[in-house]
Amino acid sequence: MNTVVPRLISGAFASVAGMAVLEMVRLKGAALVQQPSLVTMLAACGVLVMLLGIVGCLLPHRFWEKILSQGQQIHSALALPRPMVNHWTGSLLLSGSLVVYFVVLMNIIPQQPPPDNNDQAAFLMQAKTVQETGGPVTLLQRLFAGKYTEANQHPLYVALLSYFPNDEAGKRLSAMCGLCALLIFTMGITRCYGNLIGGITGMLLSINAAYCQLTARIVCEGLLLIFVAGVWLIVLRMPDLRKPSRFPFLLLMGTGLLLGLAWLTKGTALLLMLGLILWLCSYAVNWQRWIPAVLQQHPTDDPAQRTEQKTVPLKRLGLTLALVIASFTVIAAPLLIRNLRVYGSPTFNANSYLLFEDEFSEPHALIKQHGSLRNAAQNYWQSHTMTDMIKREIKGMLWQAFIFLRSLGPLPFGEGRLFFGLLAFPFLIVGLFSETGPARRLYLIWMLLFWLAFAWYLPIAAGERFLIPLLLPSLAFVSLGLVRTGQLLSRRTA
């Protein structure tokens, strides 16, 4: 049995935990020990993970064989196809999650920061401008004509907000979008996995701090989550393109249309589109040929591994990509045309210039200063060494891990949500092992893209809103992991 991969994973965990502890020591210094706090507990956990990772690297081969043998048995048990889990408690949780979310929103909406020199103020200002110039219909005409030049806030949420561009109505609009996203997503998860997993997912979302806080403010994340929920539910129903089956025309077109609406709402949806394209293309590659022999299982370990992995025919892949990209282009045409006419790039966004800055600056001022995005990139690469860029990315990755785990936690906790995230993370892993469909690969690709992109963006801004599109599938996997763990434990007990 091959033990190289688990040793490498153990070493990676040890390295990441060690760098995280060093970052905490750099930030807190001696106060980390002299004034025990939440960070002290986190540093202690980091030291423990680092030691366990080092031990994992040094474990003898026979111990790893026993661990891997047990792991394969558990994975096989989790990956077995199971019927949908329906229970009366699932129905209770489903209906209760909507009530809980409504009550939570009624309590936290008055506590949100006022729209003063922040993103909420920017959205309100743009919405009032659209209202004064003729409303959403005129906005659409101005986009096609290249007369609407705002390149930061994308137009769809602004158009909806223009009907009532004031503080209270804007918050209610976001709250309604959050409620719709919650309802659509939980009903879809219920249809795929049963009402127990759907109910747990709904309850986790209804008390999730990041979800509730962002859908109680005048920002576009609530609307974005509706489209992300739709995309994920379509992906769960998507057949494996490598297998001979009826070509999913409607599913692929629906995915492109929803991603187009998502991009009209927020620029980060472009990462979702890129991840989807990479996901589809990944099935046209036989990955076994690219994995070094030392990292592969030995032929005697698993006969299934000896069979050559099937790939998607290029003709089928080309038709798939054409449908997704064409449907995306049709729905996103107003913004694509505006960007091409005004800025020379169909996917232009003012915040792209901040990728080549070390601190926040006004994006429109950077456009005037650097001219093209290419000039901004060249200036950054000439003024920074490769070591500087690697340090920026690694530091950002550590912070993104912290932010992601914290985003899994519930209200009313503050930074203490991190420990709820740490408790939920093992169930997220179990949920990923339990899902054997194509959706798991897409989730991992999205996660990688978002972490790499926003790790680099860390010196400019950091927050849970950047990773919020991944919150819905993450909590669905956590719920799946909870139920599968319960099933496995009850089966072993019986």
Q: pLDDT tens for residues 266-277?
A: 989 999 999 999
Q: pLDDT tens for residues 71-89?
A: 777 777 777 777 778 888 8
Higher pLDDT, 215 or 308: 215
Distance of CA 38 to the CA centre of its chain: 26
233-237's contacts with Cβ under 8 Å and 24+ in sequence apart are 233/184, 233/185, 233/188, 233/189, 233/192, 234/258, 235/438, 235/439, 235/442, 236/188, 236/192, 236/437, 236/439, 237/192
pLDDT for position 301: 47
Question: What's this model's pTM, rounded to 2 decimal places?
Answer: 0.89
Q: Does residue 332 lie in a domain region?
A: yes
- H-assigned helices in 344-415: 363-370, 373-383, 386-407
The total number of structural domains that make up the chain: 2
Burial class (CB in 10 A: 0-12, 13-18, 19+), 368: exposed
CA-CA distances (angstroms) from residue 252 to 184, 249, 406, 439, 472? 19, 5, 33, 14, 20
* Domain that includes residue 337, residue range: 247-287+309-343
Which of the four pLDDT bands, split at 50, 70 and 90, describes residue 288? low
Q: pLDDT tens for residues 290-348?
A: 665 555 555 444 444 444 457 888 888 899 999 999 999 999 999 999 999 988 888 88
**Measured between alpha carbons, how far is 490 from 235 in angstroms, rounded to an integer?**
31
Which of the four pLDDT bands, split at 50, 70 and 90, describes residue 183? very high
Q: Please report, as a single letter, which amino acid is at residue 392.
A: R
Q: Does residue 157 lie in a domain region?
A: no
Burial 311-323 (b: 16+ CB within 10 A, else e): bbeeebbeebbeb
Sign of CA dihedral 366, 369, 372, 375: negative
Q: Is the pLDDT of residue 199 over 60?
A: yes
Residue that the structure tokens 């210039």 belong to: 353
pLDDT for position 1: 61
Which of the four pLDDT bands, split at 50, 70 and 90, describes residue 228? very high
Q: Does residue 472 lie in a domain region?
A: no
Residue that the structure tokens 């998507």 belong to: 238
Q: Does residue 3 lie in a domain region?
A: yes
Point out the domain boundary residue: 34, 51, 79. Answer: 79
**Measured between alpha carbons, how far is 268 from 11 in angstroms, rounded to an integer?**
32
Tokens of 460: 């400019």
Residue that the structure tokens 């009550």 belong to: 103
Q: Does residue 26 lie in a domain region?
A: yes
Share of the chain above pLDDT 70, in %: 95
Q: Is the pLDDT of residue 203 over 60?
A: yes
Tokens of 171: 């918050």
CA-CA distances (angstroms) from residue 190 to 63, 168, 480, 494? 41, 33, 11, 27
Size of the chain in residues? 494
Q: Does residue 173 lie in a domain region?
A: no
Averaged confidence pLDDT in the chain: 86
Average pLDDT of 466-482? 94
Q: pLDDT tens for residues 1-51?
A: 677 878 888 888 888 888 888 877 887 777 777 777 777 777 888 888 888
Q: pLDDT tens for residues 146-177?
A: 888 888 889 999 999 999 888 889 999 999 99
Q: Does residue 192 lie in a domain region?
A: no
**Measured between alpha carbons, how far is 246 from 136 in angstroms, rounded to an integer?**
39
Sign of CA dihedral 474, 291, 393, 373: negative
Q: pLDDT tens for residues 390-430?
A: 888 888 888 888 899 999 999 888 778 888 998 999 999 99
CB 225 within 8 A of CB 468: yes
Q: Does residue 445 lie in a domain region?
A: no
**Measured between alpha carbons, how far is 109 from 85 in angstroms, rounded to an integer?**
35
pLDDT for position 296: 57
